[in-house]
Amino acid sequence: MKRIAIALLALPFLCAPAFAQSQGNLKVFISVDMEGITGVVNWEDVSRTGKDYDRFRRIMTDETNAAIEGAVAAGATEIVVRDSHGSARNILPDLLDPRARLIRDWSGGPKVMMEGVDESFDAVIFIGYHAKAGTPDALLEHTSSGDVTDFSINGISMPEAGYNSLIAGYYDVPVVFAAGDKALCEQVEGLLGDVETVAVKEGIGAAALTLHPEVSHERIRLGVQRALSNLDRFEPFKLDAPYTLVLKLKTEESVYRGSFFPGAERTGDWELRYSSDDFLDVMYAFGAMRR
C-alpha cells in the first residue's frame, strides 16, 4: 500500500504539461538583475557591503541556472548570460552552469543590461527583474539609477524590462519569459501581452511574501522550458519610430546637466525630452542624460 501511495503522489509530476521539442539551433539570451531574486527585500541584500549579499548572489546564480536548465531542456544549443545588476559582477562564475557563457562588467555601450544581444538570438529571458520607480507593493522598485522617476517612450511609461524588451525588438528577438516580483510580472504582461512569467515574491508595502528558493527554481525551469518550446507564440516588442523619450529626474542638478546633451530639450519641471529614429541612439542619450 505504501508503494501505491508513493506512486500516486508522483503522478502530478508525471502529468506535467508536455513540451514540444525545439528543432535545429536555439540561441537564448538571459539578462539577470538582482532586486527581483527570491528572498531579496532590502537594499543591503543586493549591495556588496550587505552582510547577506553573498547569500543572495548565490541564489541569483541558482535562479540563472534554473533558467539555463529550462532552456537546455527545450533544446537550446547556445546560451549567453548577461549579469545586469550594479557592478555587473555578481553571478558566481564557478557556480554558473557551464553550458552558458557569461558577460560581466559594463562596456560603456548603449545596450547596458542587454549587452551581447543581437539578431542571431531566438529568444530573451529576464531573471531577477523588478518593477519601475513608484510602483505600489513592489520590492526595491526603481528605474535605472535612483535619480530617475520615470522613463517613457512614445507616451508609454516603462520599467527596465520595457526598454530592454525594445532593445531585443530592435534585433527582432522576442522576450518570452520574465521572473521577479508580482508587480514586475504584471508590468511585463501589460506591455508584452503573451509572455511567460513567474512571480517569486509579492510586495506588502516594503515587506515581501516570498517563495522558497527551491520552489522558485522549479517554476523558473518549467516556465522557461514551456516558453522556449512554443516560440511561435511570441512577437518582438516594437514601437513605431520616431522614438521620443521623456525622462523625469529627481534633482535640478540632474536635469540641468542632462539638458546639455545634444538634441535634449528641457520640457518641464525636472523633465527632459529626446527623439530619434534609432532606438539605440535613444538609449545612448538616456545613459548620458541621467548621469
Q: Is 9 part of any domain? A: no
- Tell me 44's DSSP state: G
Domain of 47, in residue numbers: 21-137+160-233
- Which pLDDT score, from 0 to 100, does residue 19 have? 53
pTM over 0.85: yes
- Which pLDDT score, from 0 to 100, does residue 8 have? 31
CA distance 133 to 68: 29
Counting Cβ atoms within 10 Å, is residue 5 exposed (0-12), middle (13-18) or buried (19+)? Answer: exposed
Q: What is the DSSP string of 127-181?
A: EEE-PPTT-TT-SS--SSSTTEEEEEETTEE--HHHHHHHHHHHTT--EEEEEEE
Task: Note the pLDDT tens digit of each residue in 174-207.
Answer: 999 999 999 999 999 999 999 999 999 999 999 9
| Amino acid making up residue 285 | A
Q: Write out the three cell numbers for 20.
A: 514540444
Q: Is 97 part of any domain? A: yes
The catalytic site residues sit at 142
Taking alpha carbons only, the member of 207, 84, 228 closest to residue 140 is 207
Task: Note the pLDDT tens digit of each residue in 239-291.
Answer: 999 999 999 999 999 999 999 999 999 999 999 999 999 999 999 999 999 87
- Which pLDDT score, from 0 to 100, does residue 16 have? 38
In which residue ranges of the chain is pLDDT below 70?
1-23
- Which pLDDT score, from 0 to 100, does residue 5 have? 35
The total domain count for the chain is: 2
Q: Are residues 166 and 278 in the same domain?
A: no
Taking alpha carbons only, the member of 38, 40, 56, 129 closest to residue 92 is 56
Q: Are residues 187 and 272 in the same domain?
A: no
Q: Is 58 part of any domain? A: yes
- Which pLDDT score, from 0 to 100, does residue 14 have? 29
- Which pLDDT score, from 0 to 100, does residue 146 have? 82
- Which pLDDT score, from 0 to 100, does residue 3 have? 35
CA distance 123 to 137: 29
Q: Is 149 part of any domain? A: no
CATH of the domain at 183: 3.40.50.10780
